Amino acid sequence: MKENIYLIAEIGVNHDGDKSKAIMLIDQAIEAGADCVKFQTYKTDLVVSRNAPKAKYQTEVTDKDESQYAMLEKLEFKYEWFPKIIEHCKAKGIDFLTTPNNFEDIDFLVSLGCKEFKIASYQSTELPYLKYIAKYAEKLYISLGMATTSEALLAIETLQDFDCEIIPLQCTTNYPSKIEDSNIAFVTTLKSFCNTVGYSCHVNSDIPSILAYACGATVFEKHFTYDKLASGPDHSSSLDMHDLKSYKNTLVSASKAFGRSQRFPSKIELENMKGMKRSLFTKKNIKAGDVIDFSTIEFKRPISGGLEVNYFDQLRGKKFKKDLSDDYQIQLTDIVL
CA distance readout (Å), 51 to 56, 123, 292: 15, 21, 92
Task: Summarize the confidence of residues 184-194 as an average pLDDT.
Answer: 98
Q: Identify the bridge partners of residue 39 per DSSP, sorted by sequence position.
A: 12, 98
Express as a percent the part of the chain with pLDDT over 70: 99
pLDDT over 50 at 163, yes or no: yes
* pTM: predicted TM-score of the whole model, two decimal places: 0.89
In angstroms, the CA 174 to CA 152 distance is 18
pLDDT over 70 at 1, yes or no: no
Give residue-wise pLDDT tens across range 30-72.
Answer: 999 999 999 999 999 998 989 888 877 788 888 888 889 999 9
Residue 174 or 64, more confident? 174
Quote the pLDDT of residue 260. 87
In angstroms, the CA 42 to CA 142 distance is 17
Task: Summarize the confidence of residues 86-103 as an average pLDDT.
Answer: 98
Helix (H) or strand (E) holding 93: none
Residue 50 or 183, more confident? 183
Give residue-wise pLDDT tens across range 214-238.
Answer: 999 999 999 999 999 998 999 999 9
Task: Summarize the confidence of residues 145-157 as an average pLDDT.
Answer: 98
Give residue-wise pLDDT tens across range 264-284.
Answer: 999 999 999 999 999 999 999
Give residue-wise pLDDT tens across range 200-209.
Answer: 999 999 999 9
- Amino acid letter for position 209: S
Task: Summarize the confidence of residues 142-165 as an average pLDDT.
Answer: 98
Q: Identify the bridge partners of residue 140 per DSSP, sorted by sequence position.
A: 117, 166
Burial of 283 (0-12, 13-18, 19+ CB in 10 A): middle
Q: Where are the alpha helices (DSSP H) in the chain?
A: 19-32, 44-47, 56-61, 68-74, 82-92, 103-111, 127-134, 149-159, 186-191, 207-214, 241-258, 267-276, 312-315
Task: Summarize the confidence of residues 114-118 as an average pLDDT.
Answer: 98
Give residue-wise pLDDT tens across range 294-332.
Answer: 999 999 999 999 999 999 999 999 999 999 999 999 999
Quote the pLDDT of residue 3. 65
In angstroms, the CA 234 to CA 14 distance is 7
Reference 204, options 177, 223, 227; nearest CA is 177
pLDDT over 60 at 172, yes or no: yes
CB contact set of 267 (below 8 Å; sequence gap of 6+): none
What domains sit in the chain, N to C, each tagged with a CATH number? Answer: 6-258 (3.20.20.70), 267-336 (3.90.1210.10)
In angstroms, the CA 92 to CA 209 distance is 27
